[in-house]
Amino acid sequence: MIDQQQLVQRCQNGDLEAFSLLFRKYRQRLYSLACTIVRDEETAADVVQDTFLATFQKIATFQGDAALETWLIAIAVNKCRSRLRRRKVRQFISLEALRGSLFSRDEPVEAQIAQQQQKTDLWDLVDALDDRLRLPLVLRYQHDLPAGEVAQVLNRPVNRVYQQLHEGRQQLRRLLSLKEQAPLPVPPKVESC
């Protein structure tokens, strides 16, 4: 098995087989991240291609200051941001990407459906947040990046990332509270003949 440093060196030396290994190793993770941010599978696939094209062009500049994966994620996030700026209209990510696996045999189906609905509702609320708060939450909690790597990806100080994660969680609590307090809609009256 080739280690990360050897893989980078081979890529920097123009080894296309090494670049192919790099692509296979990170494409799914970057695709999942892009789907979360741009909320469109086709655009996410384009972002992954743009990310690896930029990586191929810039691999010689990679110094190893950050982990290779963090560097790739930063490129992907920037490509996503660029797409969102150009498009300026957000689209919702498919629920399947947020749900993961559907049902297990260990819990009753009703409980699993309720749990999936809670997750969907929560990610819908995350989706409604401003990108300033949404991106740190997505990177930290959906893609399991440590706060330090989130800071590197978003090019923000770590203390700002912690503050934005805290602020994002507070806003989500408020939104959940408001959602729970909202009265159920009253069905319209049906007039009889």
Residue 120 tokens read as 């969907």
Tell me the pLDDT tens digit for each residue of 21-66.
Answer: 999 999 999 999 999 888 889 999 999 999 999 998 899 888 888 8
In angstroms, the CA 171 to CA 187 distance is 30
Contact of 48 with 73, CB cutoff 8 Å = no
51 and 114 in a single domain? The answer is: no
Contact of 140 with 152, CB cutoff 8 Å = no
**Is 184 within the bounds of a domain?**
no
130 and 157 in a single domain? The answer is: yes
| Burial of 133 per CB tally in 10 Å (0-12, 13-18, 19+) | buried
Say how many domains are in the chain: 2
Tell me the pLDDT tens digit for each residue of 176-190.
Answer: 787 777 655 554 554
- pTM of the prediction? 0.59
101 and 54 in a single domain? The answer is: no
Task: Report helix angle 41-58 to 68-87, nearest 10.
Answer: 130
75 and 133 in a single domain? The answer is: no
- Residue 23's domain comprises 1-93
